[in-house]
Structure 1
Amino acid sequence: MYDISTRKRALALVSQGRSLNSVSKQTGISRAAIRSWQTRLEPLRWNRARPCPRCRDAPEMPGQPHAYAYLLGLYLGDGCISYLRAGVYFLRITCADAWPGLIDECADAMQTIRPDNKVFRVQRQDCQNVTCYSKHWPCLFPQHGPGKKHERRIALEPWQQEIVDAHPWEFVRGLIHSDGCRITNWTTRLVGGERKRYEYPRYFFTNTSTDIIRLFTGTLDKLGVEWKSLNQSRAAVTISIARKASVALMDAHVGPKH
């Protein structure tokens, strides 16, 4: 990252009539960077972000643990962290356009965790990527690593587990909002010789990572939510929540996507 004085010196050379190419060769700064400074001199906001609570001499939990628990669930389902440059990473969570309320909740949680960093919404086909740049995403989500999540071990750090234990429903909501759904099933029964249709709500959660499935079901067990694993031929595992009392609990704390 270049400080303001360096940026001003490069722009001063350009103002003398020098080409971007010649200024780049003289200063060692890329033409793209110099061109961007012509429209924005100030560094992007991530350079001025407050310190990471996990990087301090005495690490602390994120200041809003309920928002963190929800964002952790979203990240484990539909999120990824990528390296940008100069030690900066970006967290990206992909949300379907069909659920605008979910997109808003995702952006709010991300902004709450890194309040000094700008949250972007990048439109893609039928979805939005909710993104935020920070040097500290790997500190806050140590599950980040090379390769796909289901191909590597996913385990919570003790401080993360403490947050999930304190805010289990927010964690479950994040997982359901990423890789889960609430649907209405139906069946028919013969009653007095007449076939009648019955409808009942049901929750599903599907993920290819056995570790993430274990985190989900382990949290459900602590909450008293009954579940079962469906038999499938595909690699992904689907967890079903269909018992009336358990669905009522899920409806009270999670609810359908919106």
Structure 2
Amino acid sequence: MYDVDTRKRALALVAQGRSLNSVSKEMGISRHAITNWLSRLEPLPRTPPCVRCLESPGIPEDTAAYAYLLGLYLGDGYIISKPKQHYLMITCTASWPGLVDAAEEAMRKVLPWPSVNRLQRAGCVDVKSYTRHWVCLLPQHGPGKKHERPIALEPWQQAIVDAHPWEFIRGLIHSDGCRITNWTTRMVAGERKRYEYPRYLFSNKSDDIRKLFTDALDTVGVEWSTLARGSDPFNISVARKASVALMDAHVGPKY
């Protein structure tokens, strides 16, 4: 027997778009029991619509959090949207717990009411937020891999990125970028000396996503170059001292 609170929580998770299997596994309740509750108990209210579902669509209240989340999504995120299963997932490297926390915080700020969970896997953590409304807020969702289809921001998204370019850049770096230390050697007074310098790299196979990144860099005055490996121009480099200093002030290394 299960108490009323347990039943209500299980039904609330289902109402958010969670599959019966995932709710059963998370709560330790049989799928058969949940099915019976769905048929016998008075249905709980469905989740409220997002701002994009309204008769006069709006934008998320926390636009800075949205710009950061959009960057994360374009890099390491994807949406599952099936008849009985809807969620946004951002995959984070487990060695950066601060990034995991930031991804969850951004999800909760953009949509406060869906369930958010973490799934630990080998070497990484999947941060999941369960609701069908992520499709409304992230219209870049579609079949196939991102680099195999066009990626373009809608006007309302572009306005948010224009207002918060650093948050967008930070999300992209936190997903598909890094801050590294490069080194080179120079001859000084007949002696070869080693010099080290910091560099930011962003790597993505999508021409469109790389263009969104470099457009944002141009907006904030960061100089960049394309660093091709072989014949593939998939890497954007920020190495000039002043530009690295700007990136350090607004982005910084992952943690």
Find the aligned partners of 1:127 and 1:236 in 2 and give their Cα distance: 27
Aligned residues: 229
Find the aligned partners of 1:183 and 1:70 in 2 and give their Cα distance: 21
Query: Structure 2 length as normaliser, TM-score?
Result: 0.83
- 1:227 corresponds in structure 2 to 224
- Percent identity between matched residues is 60
- 1:139 corresponds in structure 2 to 136
State whether residues 67 and 170 of structure 1, in contact with CA within 8 Å, keep that contact through their aligned partners in structure 2: yes
- Measured against aligned partners, the alpha-carbon deviations of 1:215-241 in whole angstroms (never above 9, x if no partner) come to 001111111111000122264610000
- The match for 1:53 among 45, 51, 54 is 51
- 1:66 aligned to 2:64? yes
- 1:194 corresponds in structure 2 to 191
- 1:181 corresponds in structure 2 to 178
Identify unmatched segments of 5+ residues in structure 1.
Answer: 9-31
Deviation at 1:179, TM superposition (A): 0.3
Q: How does 1:101-116 map to 2 (within 5 A)?
A: 101-116=98-113
Q: How does 1:89-108 map to 2 (within 5 A)?
A: 89-108=86-105
- The match for 2:251 among 243, 254, 257 is 254
- Measured against aligned partners, the alpha-carbon deviations of 1:122-181 in whole angstroms (never above 9, x if no partner) come to 011100100011121110000000011011100000000000000000000000000000
- 1:76 aligned to 2:74? yes
Q: What value does the CA root-mean-square deviation take over the aligned residues? A: 2.7
- Secondary structure at the aligned position of 1:90 is classed as strand
- The match for 1:158 among 142, 150, 155 is 155
- 1:216 corresponds in structure 2 to 213
Deviation at 1:185, TM superposition (A): 0.7
Find the aligned partners of 2:96 and 2:233 in 1 and give their Cα distance: 23
- The match for 2:237 among 225, 236, 240 is 240
Find the aligned partners of 1:173 and 1:221 in 2 and give their Cα distance: 14
Deviation at 1:35, TM superposition (A): 2.9
Find the aligned partners of 2:117 and 2:221 in 1 and give their Cα distance: 37
State whether residues 227 and 233 of structure 2, in contact with CA within 8 Å, keep that contact through their aligned partners in structure 1: no
Find the aligned partners of 1:128 and 1:162 in 2 and give their Cα distance: 31
State whether residues 84 and 90 of structure 1, in contact with CA within 8 Å, keep that contact through their aligned partners in structure 2: no
- Measured against aligned partners, the alpha-carbon deviations of 1:65-87 in whole angstroms (never above 9, x if no partner) come to 0000000000000000012434x
Q: How does 1:27-38 map to 2 (within 5 A)?
A: 33-36=31-34
Find the aligned partners of 1:234 and 1:94 in 2 and give their Cα distance: 28
- Measured against aligned partners, the alpha-carbon deviations of 1:20-58 in whole angstroms (never above 9, x if no partner) come to xxxxxxxxxxxx64334689999999x653320011111
Deviation at 1:198, TM superposition (A): 1.1
Deviation at 1:243, TM superposition (A): 0.4
**Structure number with bigger Rg:** 1
Identify unmatched segments of 5+ residues in structure 2.
Answer: 9-29
The residue identity in structure 1 corresponding to 2:180 is I
- Secondary structure at the aligned position of 1:54 is classed as coil
